[in-house]
């Protein structure tokens, strides 16, 4: 569920409420939440370490662990939440991991209805493209996201134009550009007046450049709004919803008039999910 703006909102919350604190104790209530953790006893790997500055690449989040070259890495999957709650607050229905701190302050809880998300301890490795920068080994293959100052725009445009697949598929490919999911892909395509089924290889450099600019714009605007929340599944670390859903132009708006031309928004199946688009502004290629 959460895409870059939602994950960035959570990252900012972790930076404010969790970074700098020392882990006292960790409880794992659901083993699936740490299924990607391969480094032995998960609580023991965290206990006693101070959590560093919260970082993010695409939809992944991490907090470096003091006195190690490791980090606590997390992904929210479709329904994951990282919540900062008072110890006395009742447990959430799908509370899978609890992290307590030595200061006795609010604890960090990983809550996840659909269990596609997870936490793990991972090793930090040098970033290949930027000296001095480090990234969790598990996500070293994922591209930087378009709000990252070191995002390589020319390389992205070239790689997209070498793709023999639909442009929406390329936008969702985290190894080309990270952080974009189904909602913001549809929004960026609408803003660029491109149909998601257009073949990436047929787009000109300027068009791909405009698509990237629109992608950046919609992601940045959504961050300001605290992300998109359709229901209580996506919330920030304090349990509050974002309000970017009011700004969406196409996603989830089947049958409603296009904000540009008034034509009813259409929905069609794509990659086992839904795509929303304006059939007038975004001309569909032949099947």
Given 127, 138, 147, 220, the residue binding DNA (CB under 7 A): 138
Residue 52 to residue 31: CA distance in whole angstroms: 25
Q: Least distance to DNA from the beta carbon of 262, Å? A: 23
CB of 105 to DNA, least distance (A): 29
Under the binding rule (CB under 7 A), the answer on residue 119 touching DNA is: no
Residue 39 makes CB contacts below 8 A (sequence gap 6+) with 45, 70, 120, 121, 122
Asked if 190 contacts 171 with a C-beta cutoff of 8 angstroms, the reply is no
Using CB under 7 A as the binding rule, whether residue 32 contacts DNA is answered as yes
Residue 131 or 255: which CB sits closer to DNA? 255
Which residues 48-87 are close enough to bind DNA by CB under 7 A? 58-59, 75, 77-79
Question: In this chain, which of 81, 182, 215, 282 binds DNA, going by CB under 7 A?
Answer: 182
At a CB cut-off of 8 Å and minimum separation 6, what does 119 contact?
33, 34, 37, 42, 72, 73, 74, 97, 110
> Could you tell me the smallest distance in angstroms from the CB atom of residue 134 to DNA?
18
In the complex with DNA, which residue's Cβ is closer, 120 or 278?
Answer: 120
- Kindly give the residue spans of alpha helices, DSSP state H, lying in 177-267: 182-192, 205-224
CA dist 185 to 182, 194, 244, Å? 5, 11, 15
Residues 6+ apart with CB under 8 A from 38: 120
**Residue ranges that bind DNA, judged by CB under 7 A:** 1-3, 32, 58-59, 75, 77-79, 93-94, 113-116, 138, 163-166, 169, 172, 174, 178, 181-183, 228-231, 233-234, 245, 269, 271-274
């Amino acid at each position: 569920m959460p895409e870059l703006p939602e994950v960035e909102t959570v990252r900012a919350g972790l930076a404010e409420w969790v970074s700098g604190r020392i882990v006292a104790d960790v409880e794992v209530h659901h083993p699936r939440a740490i299924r990607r953790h391969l480094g032995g006893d998960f609580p023991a790997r965290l206990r006693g370490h101070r959590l560093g500055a919260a970082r993010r690449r695409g939809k992944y989040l991490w907090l470096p662990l003091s006195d190690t070259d490791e980090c606590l890495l997390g992904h929210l999957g479709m329904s994951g939440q990282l919540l900062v709650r008072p110890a006395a607050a009742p447990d959430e229905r799908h509370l899978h991991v609890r992290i307590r701190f030595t200061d006795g302050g609010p604890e960090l809880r990983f809550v996840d209805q659909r269990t596609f998300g997870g936490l793990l301890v991972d090793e930090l490795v040098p970033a290949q493209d930027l000296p001095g920068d480090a990234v969790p080994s598990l996500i070293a293959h994922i591209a930087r996201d378009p709000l990252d100052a070191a995002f390589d725009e020319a390389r992205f445009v070239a790689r997209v134009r070498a793709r023999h697949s639909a442009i929406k598929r390329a936008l969702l490919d985290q190894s080309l550009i990270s952080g974009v999911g189904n909602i913001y892909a549809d929004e960026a395509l609408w803003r660029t007046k491109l149909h998601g089924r257009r073949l990436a290889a047929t787009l000109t450099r300027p068009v791909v450049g405009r698509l990237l600019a629109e992608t950046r714009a919609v992601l940045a605007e959504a961050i300001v709004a605290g992300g998109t929340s359709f229901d209580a599944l996506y919330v920030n670390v304090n349990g509050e919803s974002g309000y970017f859903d009011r700004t969406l132009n196409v996603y989830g708006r089947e049958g409603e008039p296009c904000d540009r031309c008034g034509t009813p928004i259409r929905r069609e199946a794509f990659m086992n999910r839904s795509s929303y688009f304006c059939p007038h502004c975004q001309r569909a290629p032949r099947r």
